Amino acid sequence: MAVINERVEARYYERSGDSYICRLCPHNCRISVGNYGRCGSRRADEDMLVAYSYGKVSSLCVDPVEKKPLYHYRPGSRCFSVGGVGCNMSCKHCQNYAISQLPSGKKRSTYKKPDEIVNLCRNEKQDAIAFTYNEPMIWFEYIMDVMKADPELQLILVTNGLVSEEPLRELCRVTDAMNIDIKGFTDEFYMKVCGAHLKDVLRSAEIVHGCGVHLELTYLVIPGYNDSDGEIEEFCRWVRDSLSEDVPVHFTRFHPDNEMMDVQWTPVETVMHCRDMAMEAGLNYAYVGNTLTDSADDTYCPECGATVIKRLGYLVDPVSLDGDRCAACRHRMNIRL
């Protein structure tokens, strides 16, 4: 990748007359000189398309991996979490709109070179780095360079899944675990609330699963928007038939935020009902999020029913886990250590 005058050239774009077409995500933005793409992270200069958000770090934190949420990837471990700026969706309920949605120049960030971010991660004694908070796919060049700086790091991406196939396959080669948001299960919801197409996100999840990257899914249940039984059932059938019944799914509670302050918190019963529907559809691992429950966040062996991992909030107790197997019946669980 060419670095000219401290500007980093974007990948996956082409010149088209006096503008550029960015091919990093399905929006395929046409960007004329002096302007930014829809995500605010690519800028068209006279001589090239610039990865404008490269190295612009907005947030740093050491988190439990369960917070991503990832329940089946190194359970009970921690990761060094890094956020950037910008997003290629525009969810009306975005909790992180201050870093994802403000116009390009107005987001607070600090520049960190790839080796600086690696050093910060290693100084915290972490061997896993998670790109999260805003959308990591639009940080493609930076993430690839961080992994080049320290290929031994475990890489976690918490993403909306809106990325084109070729860069996604390239990322999958260096990624260990991904949590993809499935924000609803109708295109109408995706277009109205998030500004994207459902099919593009589903295709990404299928590619990630096909590449063998550990995958978990989060479905934020919003009352009256994406919580109908039909929609949830269709989502669960898609997970079972197009991915696997072993892919963990997390039904999380919505809370009012951003442009959706008038919508109420999701009742706990609703997410519990979604979890029940997932189990009825044959999914082996379904959880609820943004609520404390007695047992709905525990992991059960799909073979013998034993409780394998107990959870309370971010407290994790592998009560009957031996390696990646159920200690009671030796069934191999979908758990990456």
Is 75:309 a contact under the CB 8 Å cutoff?
yes
- Alpha-carbon distance 273 to 278, whole Å? 9
Q: Which is nearer to ligand SF4, 217 or 308 (CB)?
A: 217
Does residue 135 belong to the site contacting ligand SF4 (CB under 6 A)?
yes
Distance between CA atoms of 86 and 39, rounded to whole angstroms? 6
- For position 309 contacting ligand SF4 by CB under 6 A, the verdict is no
The helix-helix angle for 140-149 and 114-123 (nearest 10°) equals 60
Please, what is the minimum distance in Å from the beta carbon of residue 21 to ligand SF4?
8
Minimal distance, residue 28 CB to ligand SF4, in Å: 5
C-alpha distance from residue 273 to each of 240, 251, 288 (Å): 18, 10, 10
Site for ligand SF4 contains 138 (CB under 6 A)? yes
* Residue of 336, 20, 11, 10 whose CA lies nearest to 170: 11
**Under the criterion CB under 6 A, does residue 160 sit at the interface with ligand SF4?**
yes
> Could you tell me which stretch among 51-59, 131-139, 226-234, 276-284 binds ligand SF4 (CB under 6 A)?
131-139
Site mask for ligand SF4 (CB under 6 A), range 32-71, x = bound: -----xxx-xx-----------------------------
Question: Which positions from 171 through 200 interact with ligand SF4, judged by CB under 6 A?
Answer: 194
Short-list 333, 42, 331, 294, CA closest to 167: 42
Rg value, the chain, Cα: 20
CB 66 within 8 Å of CB 314:
yes
Taking the least distance from each CB to ligand SF4, the nearer of 182 and 326 is 182
Q: Is 29 near ligand SF4 (CB under 6 A)?
A: yes
Q: Which of 19, 59, 77, 90 binds ligand SF4 (CB under 6 A)?
A: 90
Residue number of the CB closest to ligand SF4 reads: 37
Helix then strand then coil, % of the chain, to nearest 5 = 25, 25, 45
Residues in contact with ligand SF4 by the rule CB under 6 A: 22, 24-25, 27-29, 37-39, 41-42, 87-91, 94, 96, 100, 134-135, 138, 160, 194
